[in-house]
Structure 1
Amino acid sequence: LYQYLGGVYACTLPVPMMNILNGGAHADNNVDIQEFMIMPLGAKSFAEALQMGAETFHTLKKILKSKGYSTSVGDEGGFAPNLKSNEEALDVIVEAIEKAGYRAGKDIALALDAAASEFYEKKKYVFKKSDGSVRGAEEMVAFYEKLVKNYPIVSIEDGFAEDDWKGWKLMTEALGSKVQLVGDDIFVTNPEILAKGIKQGVANSILIKLNQIGTLTETIETVNLAKVSGYTSVVSHRSGETEDTTIADFVVAMNTGQIKTGSVCRTDRICKYNQLLRIEEELGKAGRYPGWDVFYNVKKK
């Protein structure tokens, strides 16, 4: 399928965004941010990236166990322990990366999906799960700036709510040259809304969900529009998944270089990774794993 859709140019394996810790609507804990992911950017191949992700995931499990936290997994395969805060979640992931023998920020970096629409109320952001604090748009930007300064975060998805275009613009001005800012709820894989975002200078990346816009043709149109506008595209699964592996072929066909398809457990997530391993084997020397080069939308990497 990847050859049919992408022809001879389909050769880029994606950097996986692997969901390893959950908060927000995906978990019953004191963490507001919905997904904490790792990106094995220092790997030389997709197979190595997957191994790095799996080792970090299992190291994290041991660390959570030793701290007396639960290690059951959420619907995308990430852990959902009862952590005390957003920062504690980031601390334990950095600890897991280092204990697994990797360097945080060099070999493996962090990515967030804040899913801010979930805690946006009356034009304010209410951190009702952690400390009950209320933030306006400027304070949210300051909150993310602090996280980016203190942790090796390279990508933030849905940092603002879908109808808070003002907030998105502020965030893009503050962080758009340092971090990948992925629009999911704001763009909903729609080329017309993406065009509006590009014109207004909102975000620098788009999340691509194949069944959100409804047709492959429109999805390809959206990816191409993002590419010519200097935005990256992250091909994504949905929360409720099946064993269908189309997105694995699609991400290689489109050469987007990034895939978000859960953690390294649960068969509905792993089947995508296995398909990507098969594609990498099949491509042989023609296949390339972009690593850090995937962020052509960010000046500083």
Structure 2
Amino acid sequence: GAHAANNVDLQEFMIMPGGAETFKECLRMGSEVFHSLASVLKSKGLSTAVGDEGGFAPDLKSNEEALDLIVAAVEKAGYRPGSDVVIALDPAASSFYREGAYVFHKSDGSRKSSDEMIAFYEGLISKYPIVSIEDGLDENDWAAWKKMQSELGDKIQIVGDDIFVTNTERIARGLKEKSANAVLIKLNQIGTLTETLDAIEMAHRAGWNAVISHRSGETEDTFIADLSVAAGTGQIKTGSVCRSERIAKYNQLLRIEEELGSQAVFGPIKPLGR
């Protein structure tokens, strides 16, 4: 997708280790699947070069092939897709939205309407253990967001990033229109810690999830790891287990869990409607 020079349209394919009881175990599982995926890619003669956020970025035949490879990697690592490890997507649909249509210009050149995109995701959810989709539609396609939440929101987590931009005014509109059930939180996007905490609180009060996130261009600062624990978000998105600016956050979470000891609470993934 937008974070790599390849022929896959959807920006990010992520895993969420749902079978772990501690963050330490969660990170180990993620690392094992990452290295398993490297092995799977090499066996197929595919590139193991990484993109901006540390994820592999090979040229593939289709977006679905990326999911097939991840499922194969999970199984090769000795885990069960759908129970031990689940999948999250960030299509970043605004990046391939052109004049009222979603254009898969990196892969097959096909054009899809908003309804067809929702049907596309519904098909993926039925075939793969996907529990979360972020930015599945364009940031200004509000009516389609409402429809997607209505049709898929009881099955998966629907996360708004570009549509909300950590802005309480846009989140408030999303709450009113029932556009999603989760919001991505980027501290340096809204600019102040106060506004960031306000956005998290607004989401939590409405029963929405909040996911703390890094940026595609990152430093080794680890504050967002502390923020995710302090705000009780339960989810953090901070890249692959590759590249030091990504791993720095995971290492900080390990330190926090170790320091908290028996007081540390790690919430397992509980897919909606599954």
For residues 274-294 of structure 1, the C-alpha deviation after alignment (integer angstroms, 9 at most, x for no partner) is: 00000000111111110124x
For residues 242-277 of structure 1, the C-alpha deviation after alignment (integer angstroms, 9 at most, x for no partner) is: 010000000000010000000001100001000000
Q: AA paired with 1:195?
A: A
Q: C-alpha distance in 1, partners of 2:63/2:87?
A: 13
The structure whose RCO (Cα within 8 Å, separation 6+) is larger is 1
* Corresponding position of 1:257: 234
Confirm whether residue 288 of structure 1 aligns to residue 265 of structure 2.
yes
* Corresponding position of 1:10: none
Q: C-alpha distance in 2, partners of 1:171/1:31?
A: 22
Deviation, 1:224, is 0.4
* Corresponding position of 2:57: 80
Confirm whether residue 66 of structure 1 aligns to residue 43 of structure 2.
yes
Q: AA paired with 2:16?
A: M
Confirm whether residue 271 of structure 1 aligns to residue 248 of structure 2.
yes
Q: AA paired with 1:282?
A: E
Q: AA paired with 2:134?
A: E
Q: AA paired with 2:101?
A: K
Secondary structure at the aligned position of 2:2 is classed as helix
The Cα RMSD (Å) is 0.8
List, as ranges, runs of 4+ consecutive aligned residues in structure 1 with deviation greater than 4 Å. none
Q: AA paired with 2:151?
A: A
Is the Cα contact below 8 Å between 2:93 and 2:102 reproduced in 1? yes
* Corresponding position of 1:48: 25
- 1:14-163 aligned at under 5 Å gives the runs 24-163=1-140
Is the Cα contact below 8 Å between 2:17 and 2:269 reproduced in 1? no
Q: C-alpha distance in 2, partners of 1:53/1:201?
A: 32
Alignment length (residue pairs) = 274
* Corresponding position of 1:19: none
5+ residue gaps, structure 2, are none
Given the alignment, which residue of 162, 171, 177 partners 2:148? Answer: 171
TM-score of the superposed pair, with normalisation by structure 2: 0.99
Identity %: 64
Secondary structure at the aligned position of 2:269 is classed as helix
Is the Cα contact below 8 Å between 2:4 and 2:52 reproduced in 1? no
Q: C-alpha distance in 1, partners of 2:83/2:196?
A: 32
Deviation, 1:30, is 2.0
TM-score of the superposed pair, with normalisation by structure 1: 0.90
Q: C-alpha distance in 2, partners of 1:71/1:124?
A: 32
Deviation, 1:131, is 1.0
Deviation, 1:31, is 1.1
Q: C-alpha distance in 1, partners of 2:57/2:269?
A: 28
For residues 197-232 of structure 1, the C-alpha deviation after alignment (integer angstroms, 9 at most, x for no partner) is: 000010110000000111000100000000010110
